[in-house]
Amino acid sequence: MAVITPGKRFQWTVIDVVVVVYALVPVLWTLSLSFKSKATIGDGNLLPSEWSFQSYLDIFQTNDFLLALVNSIGISLIATAIAVVLGTMAAYAIARLDFPGKSVLVGFSLLVAMFPQVSLVSPLFSIERSVGIFDTWPGLILPYITFALPLAIYTLSAFFREIPWELEKAAKMDGATPAQAFRRVIAPLAAPGVFTTAILVFIFCWNDFLFAISLTATTRSRTVPAALQFFTGASQFEDPTGQICAAAVVITIPIVLFVLFFQRRIVAGLTSGAVKG
């Protein structure tokens, strides 16, 4: 380790502060706007001159936001679960096996990830309408899984490659079937990777706006990012800035909880001690 001189320390402190401020100012501003009363919303102060919870009360006045929240949580959780399960199996195969067409498969999944989603919105809209899943949960879950899978496969196969293959051989020699070896040796070691992937996929689904706005029409399946768009002020001339900010703060909470919950399971260096490094 290089010695950290006071000068270096100062330099790093400045850089860290700049980065943190840059990242947090918009968040703080949103938070501040959500607590301002309608009268002071345009005053430009970071600290609200008078604190008001009106915006929060407003968004829960109708069922729309609550329904959107339920839709968001349900759709994101289901899509995450399916994508992670499929991604785990695919990534394991890609990391461990040599099968014909492996590079083609990997290439195609990369292609899916690179495909501009905007260009798929109109075809998806038409397809979903004719198939009858437009404005339903599956109508959003399906495209979410499709676009989350490449991400899941890539992240997970990197994790699987980290697990020494000899562990699997050892399990086989100890009398395990391939399924037992996977369940009792490989899966527990891949857990940090699975949780990391779950977090990333969940955030991707939770934050999606494009599909949510294009493939939904009613509160039946509209998720929060899309629902925000339909907020209206009390009158035609009133901007619903306060409500939108309050909603933005509210929908950040589940994601923070989700990350905190899974982060504790991401224990670095879980495989240390398996093999001589």
- The answer to whether 171 contacts another protein (rule: CB under 8 A) is yes
275 part of the interface to another protein, by CB under 8 A: yes
Contact stretch for another protein (CB under 8 A) within 30-38, 139-147, 174-182, 256-264: 174-182
Per CB under 8 A, does 176 bind another protein? Answer: yes
Least Å from the CB of residue 92 to another protein: 17
The binder of another protein chosen from 57, 164, 217, 253 (CB under 8 A): 164
Q: What is the 3-state secondary structure (H, E, C) of 165-207?
A: HHHHHHHHHCCCCHHHHHHHHHHHHHHHHHHHHHHHHHHHHHH
The answer to whether residue 185 forms part of the interface with another protein (CB under 8 A) is yes
Site for another protein (CB under 8 A): which residue of 77, 113, 170, 266?
170
| Residue among 93, 109, 80, 85 nearest 157 (CA) | 93
For another protein, the closer CB: 25 or 187: 187
> Do the beta carbons of residue 167 and residue 189 sit within 8 Å?
yes
CB of 98 to another protein, least distance (A): 9
Distance CA 135, CA 54 (A): 31
Q: What are phi and psi of 95, to 5 degrees?
A: -75, -30
Say whether residue 177 binds another protein (CB under 8 A). yes
| Nearby residues of 250 by Cβ (< 8 Å), 6 or more positions away | 56, 59, 65, 69
Q: Is 174 in the site for another protein (CB under 8 A)?
A: yes
Q: In Å, how far are 43, 71, 75, 131, 189 from 225, measured between CA atoms?
A: 26, 11, 13, 25, 35
Question: Contacting another protein (CB under 8 A), which of 86, 93, 248, 270?
Answer: 270
Kind plus residue range of the DSSP H or E element containing 137: helix 137-162
Per-residue DSSP letters for 202-258?
HHHHHH--HHHHHS--STTT--HHHHHTT---SSTT---HHHHHHHHHHHHHHHHHH
User: Out of 73, 189, 213, 266, which residue is the one contacting another protein (CB under 8 A)?
Assistant: 189
CA distances (Å), origin 255, targets 60, 201, 258: 19, 11, 5
CB of 103 to another protein, least distance (A): 16
In the bound state with another protein, the residue whose beta carbon lies nearer, of 191 and 259, is 191
Q: What's the closest the beta carbon of residue 132 comes to another protein, in angstroms?
A: 46
> Which of 43-51, 169-177, 196-204, 241-249 is the region at the interface with another protein (rule: CB under 8 A)?
169-177
Stretch that binds another protein, among 17-25, 35-43, 80-88, 172-180 (CB under 8 A): 172-180
Q: How far is the CB of 191 from another protein (least distance, A)?
A: 9
Binding of residue 190 to another protein (CB under 8 A): no
- Residue 36 has φ and ψ, to the nearest 5°, of -90, 150
The residues of the shown chain that bind another protein, judged by CB under 8 A, are: 164, 166-167, 169-177, 180, 184-185, 188-189, 269-276
